[in-house]
């Protein structure tokens, strides 16, 4: 492999690499009840840690990382480490992120023995200290506005000004393509570590980065790749330099900035060995041995106000990330305590566990409060989204239903606009219903701007929910919408108005309104649909001669060079397409395909499966009353239809959702008994037993 090829491969790999420490974060196991006496009487909390392996770097010791929940001092001077006998163990505080974690290096730990890190109470404590080699630590911060990084002086100033910290942690090597603690744009990074250089007099170092990077060796500025750029390099353009070293180790500081969203981030420090260029391998760095965090204890046996955060899946939709999240109290018995949760995005919940959908990649803080009589315990935590969990799919009905249920369980009133926006956007794909309507309504209250791109969809969700409860009120609310915004989205809202008048209110005013819409938008799909809706009104009113005449009058205006000969094949194609969309969970696409179908062939409603498929599509959107009307109409039009069993099966489903459960179970029972070989018999038998 040529040097240029090696460099290209190195760069490509960085975009696939993830930080080594991310996989071990929050890997907590509940310990057995500790028998060790409480050695530090004024400390309310202690963490149980143990080392399972001896350290290969005594100069770096053991890495202890514990969850931080607002009870350590900013400088960690309240923290002391003891063995099981209460003897102090040398401890060095490395880093603290409020609500994230606290990182320490311990000098001496025996294998498989429990150690206790005491903290809290708001007071400093005197412990045993030491000075380890801190390596290899990665820290990221938010990039301040109006920063420059075209030289080392500007980079120094940028890092000093970057006071909003994302997070920090030990990593295996300087080789990353993401920010594990926050957003992957507009962040600054500092790695500090010690490189093993025994037997070396000189080493050729190079940096590959996107954007800028600066390298110091033993606190001396040596090389850089400044400015905004992608990370591609070859043997002629790579930024590298030979650096003189002495002794067994050399201190490395690597600073990086990611400012431009056009390129993915990349941070690599490599060296040249012979004629080969490669990232500095893991075993060339000094590393502490990792000590396992085994649990948290309260001095008085109370529950610890520390939440375990679990993100089981995520979906990316409409330029936003949504996470299926669970927060629980894993340490101590919370029975008898009132537990309340409050998130910075406005979400509030009660109980020992909260399950919800969180929005965005930015860190999210929350507070948990436990109360019992006059006692109150408080803790804070911060969610970080650097390591993505399993990806869920909006095209998987089970995944989507799970997300919709979690969002529906939340009270939308206190949620932030950003969270409401993401919820409302995703709920468009769901059956909707009252939970979706309520969420959309709160979003519109907090963000009433008709120019917002989500305004039409949110109004549709709100009105569709309202029309299930009170169609007249929904019609009144529709008439009060901002006129200019309604005109920009006339097809959505005019069709909704006709649905209300025809399928819910069965009002004769639909005739004039439909003709008015057709006149306003001649030679358009909505004009044809409006005239079809007049036929629908007559059909639902039982005026079949007038309904047929209306459908025929619309059909006669359709241009068909075959004189109608192509319609059967066309109907079959439409039917297959809608069925496949329903099977794939593509409800919105099925709705649009049905509109296209009835505009092309209005008479199809009289002798095909159109009404059945429209009813199934409406049911997928939670529009049970409208679906039932279509199914009842189809039974009257086609009493001896081959679709009769299907019609009754779905009629029962609509009746069940509308509260007529005994009738629904009767129909399903009849299908299962009379037609045991039918495809719907098994499902009918199962649903007949539904409470």
Query: Is 410 part of any domain?
Result: no
The tokens describing 29, both together, are 């196991």
Per-residue pLDDT, 562? 57
pLDDT tens per residue, range 78-92:
999 999 999 999 999
Take residue 248 and report the two structure tokens written for it: 């067994």
Identify whether residues 81 and 223 lie together within a single domain.
Answer: no
Give yes or no for residue 500 having a pLDDT over 70.
yes
Q: Specify the higher pLDDT residue, 24 or 109.
A: 109
Is the domain of 15 the same as that of 108? no
| Res 19: pLDDT | 38
Q: Does 652 map to a domain?
A: yes
For residues 236-258, average pLDDT: 96
348 part of a folded domain? no
Mean pLDDT on 200-210: 96
Do 165 and 127 reside in the same domain of the chain? no
Among candidate residues 298, 328, 344, the one where a domain is terminated: 298
Residues 151 and 117 in one domain: no
Range of the domain at 108: 43-133+289-298
Q: Residue 34: its pLDDT value, please?
A: 64
Verify that 574 and 668 share a domain, yes or no.
yes
Q: Are 212 and 239 found together in one domain? A: yes
Burial 295-307 (b: 16+ CB within 10 A, else e): bbbbbeebbbbbb
Tokens of 305: 């106000």
> Is the model's pLDDT at 9 over the cut of 90?
no
Which pLDDT score is estimated for 561? 57
Asked if residue 654 belongs to a domain, the reply is: yes
Backbone dihedral angles phi then psi of residue 607, each to the nearest 5 degrees: -150, 35
> Which residue did the predictor score with more confidence, 221 or 622?
221
Three-class SS string for 175-220? EECCCCCCCCCCEEEEEEEEEECCCCCEEEEEEEEECCEEEEECCE
User: Is residue 381 a part of any domain in this protein?
Assistant: no
Answer yes or no: do 564 and 661 share one domain.
Answer: yes
Whether 608 shows a pLDDT value over 70: the answer reads yes
Domain closes at, from 298, 331, 362: 298
The pLDDT value given to residue 533 = 97
Give per-residue pLDDT as tens, 390-444: 999 988 888 998 999 999 999 999 999 999 999 999 998 887 678 899 999 999 9
Domain shared by 293 and 278, yes or no: no
Burial 425-442 (b: 16+ CB within 10 A, else e): bbbbbbbbbebbbbbbbb
Residue 605 lies in a domain: yes
**Is 566 among the domain residues?**
yes
Q: Do 170 and 234 fall into the same domain?
A: yes
Which position has the higher pLDDT, 54 or 8? Answer: 54
For residue 3, pLDDT over 50 is answered with no
- pLDDT > 70? residue 10: no
Q: What is the percent of the chain with per-residue pLDDT over 70, rounded to a whole number?
A: 94
Give the per-residue pLDDT at 555.
Answer: 86
Q: Is residue 380 in a domain?
A: no
pLDDT at 4: 37
**pLDDT-based confidence at 2, cuts 50/70/90?**
very low
User: pLDDT of 327-380, one tens digit each?
Assistant: 999 999 999 999 999 999 999 999 999 999 999 888 899 999 999 999 999 999
Average pLDDT over residues 181-199: 94
Report the domain count for the chain: 3
pTM above 0.85, yes or no: no
């Amino acid at each position: 492999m040529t040097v240029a090829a090696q460099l290209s491969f190195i760069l490509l790999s960085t975009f696939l690499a993830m930080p080594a420490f991310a996989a071990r974060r929050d890997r907590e196991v509940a310990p057995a009840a500790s028998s060790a006496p409480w050695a530090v009487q004024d400390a309310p909390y202690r963490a149980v840690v143990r080392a399972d392996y001896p350290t290969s770097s005594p100069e770096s010791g053991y890495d202890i990382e514990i969850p931080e929940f607002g009870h350590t001092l900013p400088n960690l001077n309240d923290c002391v480490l003891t063995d099981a006998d209460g003897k102090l163990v040398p401890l060095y505080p490395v880093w603290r992120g409020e609500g994230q974690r606290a990182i320490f290096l311990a000098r001496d730990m025996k294998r498989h023995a429990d150690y206790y890190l005491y903290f809290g109470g708001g007071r400093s404590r005197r412990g045993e200290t030491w000075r380890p080699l801190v390596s290899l630590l990665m820290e990221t911060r938010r990039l301040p506005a109006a920063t420059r990084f075209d030289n080392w002086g500007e980079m120094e100033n940028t890092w000093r000004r970057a006071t909003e910290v994302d997070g920090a942690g030990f990593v295996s090597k300087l080789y990353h393509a993401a920010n594990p603690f926050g957003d992957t744009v507009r962040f600054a990074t500092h790695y500090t570590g010690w490189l093993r250089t025994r037997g070396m007099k000189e080493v050729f170092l190079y940096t590959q980065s996107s954007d800028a990077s600066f390298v110091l060796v033993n606190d001396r500025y040596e090389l850089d790749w400044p400015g905004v750029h992608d990370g591609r390099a070859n043997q002629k353009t790579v930024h590298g330099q030979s650096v003189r070293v002495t002794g067994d180790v050399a201190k490395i500081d690597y600073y990086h900035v990611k400012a431009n969203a056009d390129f993915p981030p990349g941070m690599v420090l490599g060296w040249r060995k012979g004629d080969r260029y490669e990232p500095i391998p893991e075993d060339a760095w000094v590393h502490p041995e990792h000590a396992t965090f085994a649990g948290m204890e309260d001095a008085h046996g109370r529950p610890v106000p520390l939440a375990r955060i679990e993100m089981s899946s995520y979906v990316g939709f409409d330029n936003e990330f949504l996470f299926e999240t669970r927060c629980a109290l894993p340490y101590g018995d919370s029975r008898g305590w009132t537990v309340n949760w409050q998130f910075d995005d406005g979400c509030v919940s009660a109980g020992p566990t909260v399950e919800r959908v969180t929005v965005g990649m930015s860190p999210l803080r929350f507070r948990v409060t436990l109360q019992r009589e006059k006692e109150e315990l408080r803790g804070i935590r911060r969610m970080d989204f650097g390591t993505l969990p399993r990806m869920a799919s909006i095209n998987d009905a089970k995944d989507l239903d799970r997300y919709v249920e979690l969002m529906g369980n939340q009270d939308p009133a206190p949620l932030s606009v950003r969270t409401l926006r993401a919820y409302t956007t995703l709920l468009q794909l769901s059956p909707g219903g009252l939970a979706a309507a309520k969420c959309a309504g709160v979003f519109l209250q907090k963000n009433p701007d008709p120019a917002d791109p989500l305004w039409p969809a949110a109004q549709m969700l709100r009105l569709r929910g309202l029309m299930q409860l009170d169609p007249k009120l929904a019609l009144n609310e529709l008439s009060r919408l901002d006129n200019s915004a309604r005109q920009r989205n006339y097809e959505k809202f005019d069709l909704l108005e006709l649905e209300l008048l025809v399928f819910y209110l069965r009002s004769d005013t639909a005739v004039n309104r439909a003709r008015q819409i057709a006149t306003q938008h001649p030679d358009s799909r909505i004009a044809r649909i409006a005239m079809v809706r007049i036929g629908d009104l007559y059909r639902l009113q039982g005026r079949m001669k007038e309904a047929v005449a209306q459908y025929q009058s619309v059909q006669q205006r359709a241009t068909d060079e075959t004189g109608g000969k192509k319609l059967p094949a066309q109907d079959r194609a439409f039917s297959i397409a809608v069925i496949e969309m329903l099977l794939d969970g593509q409800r919105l696409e099925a709705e649009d395909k049905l509109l296209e179908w009835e505009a092309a062939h209005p008479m199809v409603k009289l002798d095909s499966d159109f009404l059945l498929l429209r009813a199934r599509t409406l049911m997928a959107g939670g529009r049970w009353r409208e679906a039932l009307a279509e199914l009842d109409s189809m039974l009257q039009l086609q009493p001896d239809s081959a679709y009769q069993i299907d019609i009754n099966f779905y009629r029962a489903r609509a009746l069940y959702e509308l509260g007529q459960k005994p009738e629904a179970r009767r129909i399903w029972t009849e299908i299962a008994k009379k037609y045991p070989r039918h495809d719907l018999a098994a499902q009918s038998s199962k649903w007949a037993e539904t409470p």
